[in-house]
Amino acid sequence: MQIIKHSSLITRNISDKLTLVPTMGALHDGHLSLINLAKQYSNKIIVSIFVNPTQFGENEDFETYPRNIESDLNKLKNIGIDYVYLPLVNEIYPDGIKIQQYKTGEIGEILEGKTRPHFFDGVAQVVKRFFELLKPDIAIFGEKDFQQLTIIKKMVNDFKLDIKIIGAPIIREKDGLAMSSRNIYLNKQQRLIASELYKTLNWIKKQIKNTHQIDVSLLNAKKILLESGFNKVDYFKLCDSSTLQEINNYQTSDNSRLFCAAYLGNTRLIDNVVI
Ligand code: AMP
């Protein structure tokens, strides 16, 4: 495994298939599952670790985001990849740190984008830059961040980039909590409550399937989460899996997902389940 700080250090043969797995580090089994999936598609794997400043809002956790580079490198060495890309900020942002290249538009303004207005513009920008620099054949993103996956697919389509985007299923803790680098922010009591998010998603999924009453079920979901100990529910919505547009009518709820974001203290958890 080679640790590189500049994209020019990548060597590849014409026959090599390169898969990129972009991450912000503090790696857990969710990230590692993306790497295992990459092994099925390609003979060369590059994992990037970069806490991207442009996707953090002013009051968000850029400075305190968990950084565990030693432990990350050990995990990557053990699982076996070709390159770890730890880019220097000036390779990613040669003209200074600012959002510039791509506006995600409406799809980046709903769900996560409502609370985090510049988030997806920042994500799309850094991912596009990675694609330009590393020229992967394939890139893998987790369904944990389903809106992000959808936006990256749209961006690849908009720019007609020759890259295959693959979505990977959500990896969960035993009690159902979706793995996330930010879960370490949870104290013991919050960690117990956190598992209610996935349970509630599944419960409401059943309710929608049984009653076809979307509005009532979604209101019920918020109530359950607040009663469980979440202090705020940002959204709990049923959306089309391709367009992410809200669905209010059960007849059109094929190919849909339930999406939610809720706070435990200052920690914001997101999750989704397919209907
Ligand atoms: P992050 O380091 O949080 O930016 O995540 C890097 C990639 O790992 C993204 O594509 C995430 O969607 C994916 N990922 C994070 N957590 C999980 C999980 N629990 N299961 C599957 N993929 C995940």
Query: What is the 28 CA–ligand 1 centroid distance (Å)?
Result: 9
pLDDT band at 163 (very low <50, low <70, confident <90, very high): very high
- Ligand 1 contact via 181 beta carbon (within 6 Å): yes
Residue with CA nearest ligand 1 atom 10:
141
Choice among 28, 31, 118, 212 that is catalytic: 31
Give pLDDT tens digits for 37-56.
999 999 999 999 999 999 99
- For residue 101, is pLDDT > 80? no
**What pLDDT shows up at residue 57?**
87
Contact 267, 182 (CB under 8 A): yes
Question: What average pLDDT does the segment 175-198 reach?
Answer: 98
Query: What is the 263 CA–ligand 1 centroid distance (Å)?
Result: 19
Give pLDDT tens digits for 102-160.
788 899 999 999 999 889 999 999 999 999 999 999 999 999 999 999 999 999 999 99
- For residue 219, is pLDDT > 70? yes
Per-position b or e across 12-48, b if 16+ CB within 10 A of its CB: eeeeeebbbbbbbbbbbebbbbbbebbeeebebbbbb
Task: Give the separation between CA 93 and CA 128, rounded to whole angstroms.
Answer: 12
Q: Is 237 exposed, middle or buried (0-12, 13-18, 19+ CB in 10 A)?
A: buried
Query: What is the 249 CA–ligand 1 centroid distance (Å)?
Result: 31
pLDDT band at 194 (very low <50, low <70, confident <90, very high): very high
- Ligand 1 contact via 23 beta carbon (within 6 Å): yes
- Name 159's Cβ contacts closer than 8 Å, sequence gap at least 6: 102, 128
Query: What is the 145 CA–ligand 1 centroid distance (Å)?
Result: 7
Query: What is the 150 CA–ligand 1 centroid distance (Å)?
Result: 14
- Name 7's Cβ contacts closer than 8 Å, sequence gap at least 6: 85, 87, 91, 133, 134
**What pLDDT shows up at residue 100?**
66
**What pLDDT shows up at residue 136?**
98
Ligand 1 site-directed mutation target among 69, 120, 145, most atoms within 8 Å of CB:
145
Ligand 1 site-directed mutation target among 21, 24, 28, 34, most atoms within 8 Å of CB:
34
**Helical pair 29-41 and 69-79, crossing angle rounded to 10 deg:** 40
Give pLDDT tens digits for 76-87.
999 999 999 999
- Ligand 1 contact via 44 beta carbon (within 6 Å): no
Mean pLDDT score of the chain: 95
Share of the chain above pLDDT 70, in %: 99
Q: What is the DSSP letter of 109?
A: T
Tell me the C-alpha to C-alpha distance, in Å, between residue 48 and each of 31, 85, 86, 259.
11, 4, 6, 27
- Ligand 1 contact via 168 beta carbon (within 6 Å): yes
- For residue 252, is pLDDT > 80? no
Residue with CA nearest ligand 1 atom 17:
30
Rama region for 47: left / alpha / beta (φ>0; ψ in -120 to 50; rest): beta
- For residue 92, is pLDDT > 90? yes
Contact 47, 115 (CB under 8 A): no
Task: Give the separation between CA 244 and CA 253, rounded to whole angstroms.
Answer: 12
- Name 106's Cβ contacts closer than 8 Å, sequence gap at least 6: none
**Is residue 118 annotated as part of the catalytic site, yes or no?**
no
Task: Give the separation between CA 193 and CA 262, rounded to whole angstroms.
Answer: 11
**What pLDDT shows up at residue 253?**
65
Of ligand 1's atoms, which has the minimum distance to the CA of residue 171? Answer: 20
pLDDT band at 249 (very low <50, low <70, confident <90, very high): confident
